């Protein structure tokens, strides 16, 4: 473990330093008063144990919920080669503020051994908290189904409003967020982006502002899809359409599951083009779709088969090409991203 310092953002959206000083010490705040001891688990590769320092300084801890989640997220961000973190009994007692906080971790991420809590990276990041900002789709009762033509599918939840996802990406060093598109607020930006020749080549929506307003109105009344604006540190960079694949046009081209999710995306703000940011929003939109509904086992897409740059990016974020096929208007690549593979191989 090498000396490093990463700027991270805590759950109250105030920046804090996370400093790994050595293999023995990890600081969780800017002045070093909140510190935990780090030791390698020699019996389990890529695993560390965190515990309270055996010094009076440990009494200076400010135990504001949800400190446990913040602690785990920061530790995983700083210890990039670590796949499992164990928190000792005293640390759990200091940071845990009720059963509700522990319940935010998936049950299979925890195992009791000597009073410790073992948390695997791949399971922790499947928790909805602390990154999902809207009510998760999983909470919508699966009480009825409906049909579109011959397609029978679950009744879908209402589209979200406002901020839906927000997470500081330690690799990029910026916060990635998504919020529901608002026609009154975003129409001008949406129009400018769609009429950019680079975007229009793929989206084919270089239309007037009034025509695009109608497009957004129609989308708002479509129960299988909704639009999002993506932001880096609050600055809008792109537009995304999220859809349930089974009742989408894509659903008839493969054996779609009831809870497969898909997305279309564009980067309209040229300031936010580039390799690092593209990988960051790809990680974020896929992460959002998986944590929004625990029943979603697969995220899908159907970009133009000729869009080789996007296909290369997608491969780096655990998407793989199933096949090529023909829509009436384009030759497409069917892309899949499986939940298990994403959380096993993509480092968030």
**289 in the same domain as 235:** yes
Q: What is the mean pLDDT of the chain?
A: 82
Q: Report how far residue 337's alpha carbon sits from residue 253's, in angstroms, rounded to the nearest whole number.
A: 16
Q: How confident is the model at residue 13, as a pLDDT?
A: 37
Q: What is the pLDDT along the chain (348 residues), one digit of tens a residue?
A: 332 222 223 333 333 334 444 456 666 655 556 677 888 877 777 888 888 777 655 455 555 545 677 778 888 888 888 998 888 877 776 666 554 455 555 444 455 556 677 888 998 899 887 899 998 898 887 766 776 767 788 889 999 999 999 999 999 999 999 999 999 999 999 999 999 999 999 899 999 999 999 999 999 999 999 999 999 999 999 999 999 999 989 998 999 999 999 999 999 999 999 999 999 999 999 999 999 999 999 999 998 888 888 888 998 999 999 999 998 888 999 999 999 999 999 999
User: Among this protein's residues, is 159 annotated catalytic?
Assistant: no
**254 in the same domain as 158:** yes
On whether residue 131 sits in a domain, the answer given is no
CA neighbor of 168 nearest in space, from 34, 21, 14: 14
**158 in the same domain as 86:** no
250 by DSSP, 3-state: which? helix
Number of domains making up the chain:
2
**341 in the same domain as 233:** yes
Q: How confident is the model at residue 208, as a pLDDT?
A: 97
Q: How confident is the model at residue 25, as a pLDDT?
A: 61
CA neighbor of 180 nearest in space, from 126, 225, 247, 127: 225
Q: Report how far residue 309's alpha carbon sits from residue 292's, in angstroms, rounded to the nearest whole number.
A: 27
Q: How confident is the model at residue 98, as a pLDDT?
A: 52
Q: How confident is the model at residue 106, as a pLDDT?
A: 47
**304 in the same domain as 262:** yes
Return phi, psi of residue 144, to 5°: -155, 165
Q: How confident is the model at residue 286, as a pLDDT?
A: 98
**Can the peptide bond before residue 66 be classed as cis, meaning omega within 30 degrees of 0?**
yes
Q: Report how far residue 285's alpha carbon sits from residue 318's, in angstroms, rounded to the nearest whole number.
A: 13
Q: What are the residues whose beta carbons fall under 8 Å from the beta carbon of 159, sequence distance 6 or more?
A: 180, 220, 226
Return phi, psi of residue 271, to 5°: -65, -20
**272 in the same domain as 160:** yes
Domain termination residue (choose one: 79, 95, 124):
124
Q: Report how far residue 30's alpha carbon sits from residue 15's, in angstroms, rounded to the nearest whole number.
A: 9
Residue 181 is part of which domain span?
Answer: 137-345
Q: Report how far residue 284's alpha carbon sits from residue 290's, in angstroms, rounded to the nearest whole number.
A: 10
On whether residue 132 sits in a domain, the answer given is no
Provide the terminal-to-terminal Cα distance of the chain, rounded to the nearest Å. 19
Tokens of 170: 């330690």
Which residue is catalytic, options 73, 120, 241, 302?
302
List, for residues 43-67, the tens digit of each pLDDT value. 777 888 888 777 655 455 555 545 6
Alpha helices in 151-272 (DSSP H): 183-194, 197-203, 209-220
CATH assignment at residue 263: 3.40.630.30
Q: How confident is the model at residue 2, as a pLDDT?
A: 31
**236 in the same domain as 210:** yes
Domain termination residue (choose one: 124, 154, 183):
124
List, for residues 94-126, the tens digit of each pLDDT value. 666 554 455 555 444 455 556 677 888 998 899
Q: How confident is the model at residue 219, as a pLDDT?
A: 96
Sequence length of the chain is: 348
On whether residue 129 sits in a domain, the answer given is no
Q: How confident is the model at residue 114, as a pLDDT?
A: 61
Q: Report how far residue 174's alpha carbon sits from residue 13's, in angstroms, rounded to the nearest whole number.
A: 12
pTM of the model: 0.86
Contact 262, 226 (CB under 8 A): no
């Amino acid at each position: 473990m090498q000396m490093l310092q990463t700027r991270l953002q805590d759950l109250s959206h105030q920046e804090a330093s996370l400093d790994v000083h050595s293999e023995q010490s990890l600081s969780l705040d800017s002045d070093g008063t909140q510190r935990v001891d780090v030791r390698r688990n020699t019996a389990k590769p890529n695993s560390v144990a965190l515990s309270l320092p055996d010094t009076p300084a440990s009494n200076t801890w400010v135990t504001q919920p949800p400190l446990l989640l913040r602690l785990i997220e920061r530790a995983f961000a700083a210890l990039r080669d670590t796949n499992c973190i164990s928190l000792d009994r005293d640390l759990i007692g200091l940071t845990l503020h009720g059963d509700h906080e522990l319940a935010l971790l998936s049950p299979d991420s925890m195992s009791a051994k000597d009073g410790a809590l073992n948390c695997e990276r791949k399971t922790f990041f499947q928790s909805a908290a602390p990154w999902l900002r809207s009510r998760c789709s999983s909470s919508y009762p699966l009480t009825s189904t409906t049909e579109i033509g011959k397609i029978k599918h679950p009744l879908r939840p209402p589209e979200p409003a406002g901020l839906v996802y927000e997470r500081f990406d330690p690799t990029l060093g910026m916060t990635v967020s998504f919020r529901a598109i608002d026609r009154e607020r975003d129409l001008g930006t949406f129009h400018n982006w769609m009429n950019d020749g680079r975007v229009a080549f793929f989206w084919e929506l270089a239309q007037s502002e009034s025509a695009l307003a109608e497009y957004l109105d129609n989308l708002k009344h479509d129960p299988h899809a909704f639009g999002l604006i993506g932001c880096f540190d609050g600055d809008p960079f792109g537009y995304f359409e999220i859809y349930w694949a089974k009742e989408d046009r894509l659903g008839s081209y493969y054996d779609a599951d009831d809870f497969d999710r898909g997305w279309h995306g564009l980067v309209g703000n040229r300031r936010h083009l580039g390799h690092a940011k593209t990988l960051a929003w790809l990680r974020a939109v896929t992460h959002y779709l998986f944590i929004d509904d625990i029943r979603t086992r697969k995220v899908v897409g159907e970009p133009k088969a000729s869009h080789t740059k996007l296909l290369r990016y997608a491969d780096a974020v655990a998407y793989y090409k199933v096949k090529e096929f023909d829509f009436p208007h384009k030759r497409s690549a069917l892309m899949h991203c499986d939940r298990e593979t994403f959380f096993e191989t993509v480092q968030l």
